[in-house]
Amino acid sequence: MTEDKGLEKLGDLFNLPVKTKKPPAYQWQDLALQIIRELGVPNNKRNSVFKVCKQNSRAVILGCLNDTKELCKTGQKWSYFFKLNSGGGKVNTTI
Domain boundaries, the chain: 25-85
Question: In the prediction, which pLDDT does 95 show?
Answer: 47
pTM for this prediction: 0.68
Question: In the prediction, which pLDDT does 86 show?
Answer: 84
As a whole number of angstroms, the distance between CA 58 and CA 31 comes to: 8
List the chain residues with pLDDT less than 70. Answer: 1-2, 4-7, 13, 88-95
